[in-house]
């Protein structure tokens, strides 16, 4: 029987049943697994890699890794959470294999301070709060673009902490740096992002 003729599993199948069938080598279970989780995994990979082809390759790597390690999935967390960690790892691995380019400095976009210690561009110059502004579609597009423009070192920390919602310890482990380094990079990345968006936010 070809894969096209193989019986389909319902998308509402419960996780323990799906995992059991995956472990048994059920072809229909693999198809359901990819159908349920592939799209979300691709979105995660795309955020880090910024390239559809590389993102698809990262998802394929992650799927292969997940299938090979499904016997070690303990079921203490949702399978989507487990997969999220795997695809983030796959994306970061691809970034590490890229030819490293010199990173631009953040200094030009970080907040500037006067001699008296006050910021040149203060937060209160924004007409609306960031929380309200990012609900607007046009601002979301600008935020994504501004994040993509950050140097990779800072972009990855910002994505992992603020977008993927991993805690500091997890980010530290994934990137192989100290927790203090994660905190410093995150603070600088947030400052740079805010400065990049300040002209737009003041016009809202």
Q: Domain coordinates of the chain in residue numbers? A: 15-97, 123-203
C-alpha R_g of the chain: 21
Which residues pair with residue 113 across a beta bridge?
A: 119
Cα–Cα distance between 202 and 144 in angstroms, integer? 18
Report domain 15-97's class.
mainly alpha
C-beta atoms surrounding 33 within 10 Å: 23
- What pLDDT is attached to residue 167? 94
The pLDDT averaged over each successive group of 10 residues in the chain (204 residues) is 50 79 88 91 94 95 93 84 94 85 60 55 48 61 85 92 93 95 93 80 60
Contact call for residues 14 and 70 (beta carbons, < 8 A): no
Question: Is the full-model pTM beyond 0.85?
Answer: no
Contact call for residues 194 and 154 (beta carbons, < 8 A): no
Cα–Cα distance between 151 and 187 in angstroms, integer? 14
- What pLDDT is attached to residue 193? 86
List of residues 6+ apart from 68 with CB closer than 8 A = none
- What pLDDT is attached to residue 119? 53
Cα–Cα distance between 155 and 189 in angstroms, integer? 7
CATH, domain range 123-203: 1.10.10.10
């Amino acid at each position: 029987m070809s894969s096209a003729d193989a019986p389909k599993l319902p998308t509402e199948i419960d996780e323990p049943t799906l995992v059991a069938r995956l472990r048994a080598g059920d072809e229909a279970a693999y198809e359901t697994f990819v159908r349920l989780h592939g799209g979300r995994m691709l979105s995660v990979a795309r955020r880090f890699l910024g390239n559809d082809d590389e993102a698809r390759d990262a998802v394929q790597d992650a799927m292969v890794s997940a299938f090979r390690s499904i016997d070690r999935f303990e079921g203490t967390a949702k399978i989507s959470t487990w997969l999220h960690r795997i695809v983030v790892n796959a994306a970061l691995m691809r970034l590490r294999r890229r030819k490293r380019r010199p990173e631009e400095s953040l200094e030009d976009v970080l907040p500037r301070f006067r001699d008296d210690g006050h910021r040149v561009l203060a937060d209160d110059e924004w007409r609306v709060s960031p929380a309200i502004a990012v609900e607007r579609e046009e601002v979301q597009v600008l935020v994504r673009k501004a994040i993509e423009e950050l140097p990779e070192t800072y972009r990855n920390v910002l994505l992992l902490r603020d977008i993927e919602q991993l805690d500091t310890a997890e980010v530290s482990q994934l990137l192989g740096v100290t927790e203090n380094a994660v905190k410093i990079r995150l603070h600088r990345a947030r400052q740079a992002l805010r400065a990049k968006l300040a002209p737009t936010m003041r016009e809202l």
